[in-house]
Amino acid sequence: MSVLKSLSANEQVALLFVILFGVLGLVSAVTGLLGLREADERLHQRRQRWARELRALWIGAGLFWLAWMTGRAGATLLFGLISFLALREYITLLKTRRGDHRSLLLAFFVALPVQYLLLAQGSYELFAVFIPVYVFLAIPVLSALAGDPERFLERNAKIQWGLTVCVYGLSHAPALVLLDGQRGAFLLFFLVMVVACAQLVQNAAERHWRRRPVARHIDRGFSLRAWATGCLVAAWLGAALYWITPFKAPGALAMAGIAAAAGTLGEFVMSALKRDAGVRVWGNAPSVTGAVGLLDRVAPLCFAAPVFFHSVRWYFQLRP
Amino acid sequence: MRPDKMLPMTRADAMGLVLAFVARLITGAQGHWRGCPPKAEQRIYFANHQSHLDWVLIWAALPHELRANTRPIAARDYWTSSRFKHWLTREVFNAVYVNRARTDDQDPLEPLVDALRRGDSLVIFPEGTRSNLGLPQAFKSGLYHLAQQFPQVQLIPAWIDNVQRVMPKGEVLPVPILCTVTFGAPLGLAPGEDKRAFLDRARQAVIDLQPAPLAANETQAAP
């Protein structure tokens, strides 16, 4: 590990990508080979699901590489676009009324760009309070000006919540880059890896154990044991990756555990929200207007990023 | 076919690409081809009409190579009133102009008939006007007359979903919300079919394409 620590930041990132794409390539090759064998209907469905997951991983990894290549501006732009698409999907499914038109315009065309602009500028203070303080006031004001009292609280809560998750939450992912200068990209990578790992392990554990679900009406698979397993495995992965972070091994273990727990619980909350909206996936189900299912992919990150961001900041303050 | 197809990209083509991109960014403009594949056959698409954006949505949902030959109908007095509007409808969308003011000596369908004779496809909104009630109003008879005169042209019903939320009446800026255009199976005029019966059948074909509403969404766009 000391060899790895002695590499320059750029070399370490390059090495990371080599490993990442190498593992993905290997998994894809094995999947391709296994796919040649005969399969019955159920196995076929499972394979298709797996193939979808794998494609999403490839896209995610590719985007991440692109963000790293293009630097801070690129990362900001990329995450801004993802925020936009995720918010678009969210608003599509949580119906709004006519009176919300102006508030929605504000959310999409003012709040979102300004949040990312603040990020690109590095004005951290305003970045952290812009949406919870200023936009929080502006949205209900516009809504009230539209003169429609019907379900006023519910409508404004929907919009504010969407902004908090899709814009405020997600913007903390590229904000990690601000925290730690040249090595910020590692923190982002660390976060994404850990959260993705927790999700994968949790899903596998749910299918393996088939425990009694904690909240059947929200998520038929979610059990505390599967959730804890996911977080634990992710925490150990984090500890194993400690050399790319500013933390020592125990610190990395704790940080990874926090991020994984926040991400998987966030996903759980999103499934409750989906049930409320009357959809199963934020995706391209035939009944649903043509969403792409992006929100399903980024939701865990939306919840994990702010928690992780502030934990890291706190950690740095403890040990300057 | 427009003659400029052989030349490098014109300003109108570039404008078309930009508009299609913006439409996709704002609304997704997903085309769901449920009843027929997107093919380069001569067709009349007819759809529900709720917003100014309807035409742009259908146009953006079409594959790129079908766009040049699929033409909208535009009211001459409005869409030629400024140079930009005229340029946009003539060069970018290749619109068929109709006169809204009715004169006795001219058949209002004549420009449409001309376009169909030349082999172009059309997009029409048979309600005649935008309605922001949930279901489309009764269809005007133009569709029937065109079906009578051009039995070989396919009549494709289409349902445009969600667009009234993107830009409600009276607003200028669109809100990004995903929309879909669902294209149904071709419809034909049955031999000896009555005009009203055919128009009702066509309207029902459009309504049948409406995606099932989401459960528990009482805050649906207000009527």
Q: Note whether B172 contacts A: Cβ–Cβ < 8 A.
A: no
User: Is the confidence at residue B4, as pLDDT, over 80?
Assistant: no
What is the percent of chain B where pLDDT is above 90? 34
Range of the domain at B45: 32-207
pLDDT at A3: 66
Q: Which residues of A touch B57 (CB under 8 A)?
A: none
Q: What is the ipTM of this complex?
A: 0.81
Q: Let me know if residue B140 belongs to a domain.
A: yes
Q: Let me know if residue B218 belongs to a domain.
A: no
- Cβ neighbours of A91 (radius 10 Å): 24
Q: Let me know if residue A53 belongs to a domain.
A: no
Q: Note the pLDDT tens digit of each residue in B39-57.
A: 888 999 999 988 888 899 9
pLDDT at A140: 93
Q: Let me know if residue A164 belongs to a domain.
A: yes
Q: How many independent structural domains does chain A possess? A: 1
Q: Let me know if residue A63 belongs to a domain.
A: no
Q: Let me know if residue A22 belongs to a domain.
A: no
User: Is the confidence at residue B151, as pLDDT, over 70?
Assistant: yes
Range of the domain at A165: 71-318
Q: Let me know if residue A51 belongs to a domain.
A: no
Q: How far is CA B59 from the centre of its chain?
A: 8
Tell me which residue in A91, A97, A99 faces B177 most closely, judged by beta carbons: A91
Separation of alpha carbons A222 and A203, rounded Å = 9
Q: Which residues of B touch A98 (CB under 8 A)?
A: 168, 221-222
Q: Which residues of B touch A163 (CB under 8 A)?
A: none
Which of B26, B34, B175, B209 best tests the A interface by mutation, with the highest count of A CBs <10 A? Answer: B175
pLDDT at A298: 87
Q: How many independent structural domains does chain B possess? A: 1
Q: Which residues of B touch A110 (CB under 8 A)?
A: none
- Counting as low any pLDDT under 70, the low residues of chain A are 1-7, 178, 180-182, 280-292, 318-320
Q: Let me know if residue B104 belongs to a domain.
A: yes
Q: How many CB pairs under 8 A join A and B?
A: 78
pLDDT at B28: 84
Tell me which residue in B30, B32, B220 faces A95 most closely, judged by beta carbons: B220
Q: Let me know if residue A3 belongs to a domain.
A: no
Tell me which residue in A93, A94, A108 faces B175 most closely, judged by beta carbons: A108
Separation of alpha carbons B58 and B56, rounded Å = 6
pLDDT at B213: 62
Q: Note the pLDDT tens digit of each residue in B10-24.
A: 888 899 889 999 998
pLDDT at B216: 39
**CB atoms A290 and B32 under 8 Å:** yes
Q: Let me know if residue A83 belongs to a domain.
A: yes
**CB atoms B219 and A104 under 8 Å:** no
Q: Let me know if residue B15 belongs to a domain.
A: no
Count of positions (residues) in chain A: 320
Decide the pairing of beta strands B43-47 and B154-161. parallel
Q: Note the pLDDT tens digit of each residue in B24-39.
A: 899 888 888 888 888 8
Q: Let me know if residue B23 belongs to a domain.
A: no
Q: Let me know if residue B139 belongs to a domain.
A: yes
pLDDT at B64: 86
Half-sphere exposure of B142 (CA within 13 A, CB side): 20
Separation of alpha carbons B4 and B6, rounded Å = 5
**CB atoms B214 and A288 under 8 Å:** yes
- Can you say whether the dihedral through the CA atoms of A169, A174, A178, A180 is positive or negative? positive
pLDDT at B13: 87
Q: Let me know if residue A46 belongs to a domain.
A: no
**CATH number for the domain harbouring residue B142:** 3.40.1130.10
